[in-house]
Structures are given as structure tokens and as C-alpha cells.
Amino acid sequence: MGLTHYQMRTILLPVKKLSASSISTLDMCEMKWFLQYMAGFREPSGRAAAIGSMCHYVLECIAHSKLLRQNGRSFKKDDVVGRITPQYDLQKLTDKVYAHYTQKEPHIEWGDKEYREVCRNIEKAKAHPLFPENHAEIISPEQFFMMKVDEEWAKYSYLKGGKTEEGNVHINGIIDLIFRDSNGVLNYLDYKFGQPKDWATGKKKDYAAIVKDVQLCMYYLAVKNKFPGEDICVNIWYVNHNLVFSDFFGQAQEDIIMKKLESVLARLRSIDKPDTRRGFHCRFCPFSKTSFKNWDRPNLDIDYNKFGGHFEPVEEKVCVCDATKTFIDYRGLTTTLENLK
């Protein structure tokens, strides 16, 4: 059964899937969400994020190595380190990952300081009980999921090329590690190499925030769907702060994420002009500091002296978020999205 005429009329943005990161970005700024997840403008990784990605990848390789030993296999092909084997040299593995990411992110200035930071992070991780080698059984490193939200409020219906496209929104993501502990309990683990804070609000995370965390609740739903009937222990590990939150999730977390998804979809269906309100997050956002020329789209640049905006001019041009707002004012949301794509 399709959506009502009113519901179909109000859906302007073709949202077919949601990830925890997309929801977090939406909570932070509607315009940033629109530019990233609708128009496809991906912000470049910063130094801290790139270092975190390197450390994640090293731990992923270690988990794969242990999994090879469990399964009696000799190697696994890998695009970054070449081959992962049951035995490894941790320093050589770290060096290969570091070399790959420094070439992948040439816009970042890499040096001895950054290399030492990566090595220190890995050493801290190695000394902790949650280091992949210490788990009784590795189930799945970097587990991707794509799960249908089978609710009436999760249905969508869009006109595309003169035809109606219908379906249910899916949730998707990648879980750092699923494993069993020495008691046979199923666990999933999320590594963090940054600070224990909510980047949408700037507030420090505590236990009360963790048990309602959108990402962890979404991952719980995905793991429960894959392993029905099992008790599931959730772990989030802030490596550099030697801080771990562990708890068993259940119906309360399932209710939290379903309520959040329903509210997010209702919000997206009501958007006809993404909000561009200023906040502390703008200091870290490239869309408020660059024009379309910086994204190889100079044809979309707007003269600052003529149109102005919330933010300072970028080489006498309007920044990306203000320019997009201007396009929407003049052309509407649907046409602007087509132009940006």
C-alpha cells in the first residue's frame, strides 16, 4: 500500500537509507546533511579523522589475522597491506597502513609527529583487554549491514523519470568488530580514538548518553537481526582515554532507535529549505569556509557583494552553504538538488 497523497506531496528529498553518521550530521546541521548526503559533496578528512582511520584499519587487520588462525586459512587479500596472514609483525603492519593513508590524504601535512601518534595509539590499544588478539572468538571484523525498516512510517514513494518508486527506508553501517568473550557471550565493539563527546552538541558523553546513543542502538538492532535470540553486550572503547562503556542492550534501545528513525524521517519529509543556522560546529565545517570553486564547481559561485550571506566571503564569493541556500530560494529544493548533482 502506497503513501497518502498528502505524504507523497510533502516528500521532496529522496531518502532511501539512513546511517548513524547521516543522522548525527542532520542533528548538527540540515544544510551540511543536504550537501553531503543528498548532493554528494564529501568533506575531506581532517588530521584527527585520518589518524583514527589508520588505527581502525590496523586493528581490523589484527582481527582478520586472528580469524584466519581460527579458520585454519593461510591468508586474506587486502587492498591496503597486500596480504593479511595468521602471523604478523605489528610495526610493519602499522607502517603499511600509515603509508597507504598518507598517500590517500595528501592534503594533510604528514610528519614524524603524526607517525608517532599512530604508533602510540596502537601501543595503547595493544595493552588493553579489548585488543582483538584477546577475544575468545572473532565473529566478524568490519561487519557491513543493510537492514530494511519494516514499518509503515518508513515507506517512501517518489516520482522519478515519470514513474513512481516505492519501498522502505533501510538503515546501514559498518560495525568495527563482533566477537564472543570467554563466557560465550556475543559482543560488538566500536573503537574511538577521539574524545568521548557528542560532536552534534559538544557535550561530554557519559553512561546515560551512551545507552541512548543513536549509533550503538542502531548497531544493536542490526546485530539482533543477524543473531536473533542472543544476549548482546555492547562496548564502546575510547582508546586514548582508556575509557570503556559496556552494557547489555535490549528492548529499551530498540525502542529508542525506532522512535529516532521515525522522527528523523518525519523531519526530512517536512524540509523544503535546509536550515543554515550558525553554531559552534561551523568552525569545523568546510562548507562555511569554501566556495564552489574549491569543490571544482566554479560555475556555481555567487558574487558575495551582490548576495552576501551569514558567513565571511571566500575570495569575494559566497560560501557553499550560503550559495546553496540562495539557489533554493530562487529555484526550489528539487531543481537545486538536480543542479548540484
The pLDDT tens digits for 297-331 are 999 999 999 888 889 999 999 999 999 999 999 99
pLDDT of 284 over the 80 cut: yes
Report the percentage of the chain scoring pLDDT > 90. 79
Check: CB of residue 111 under 8 Å from CB of residue 144: no
Specify the pLDDT at position 13. 82
What three-state secondary structure class fits 193? coil
What three-state secondary structure class fits 63? helix
pLDDT of 339 over the 80 cut: yes
The pLDDT tens digits for 41-71 are 988 889 999 999 999 999 999 999 999 999 9
Question: How many Å is the Cα radius of gyration of the chain?
Answer: 22
The pLDDT tens digits for 230-281 are 999 999 999 999 999 999 999 999 999 999 999 999 999 889 899 987 888 8
- For residue 114, give Cα distances in angstroms to 99, 111, 208, 339: 12, 6, 33, 39
Model confidence at 12, in pLDDT bands (50, 70, 90)?
A: low
DSSP label at residue 211? T
Q: From start to end of the chain, where are the E strands?
A: 17-18, 76-78, 82-84, 137-148, 155-160, 163-168, 170-180, 186-192, 232-238, 243-248
Q: Is 12 exposed, middle or buried (0-12, 13-18, 19+ CB in 10 A)?
A: middle
Q: From start to end of 96-241, where are the E strands?
A: 137-148, 155-160, 163-168, 170-180, 186-192, 232-238
What three-state secondary structure class fits 130? coil
* C-alpha 239, offset from chain centre: 18
Model confidence at 3, in pLDDT bands (50, 70, 90)?
A: very low
Specify the pLDDT at position 41. 93
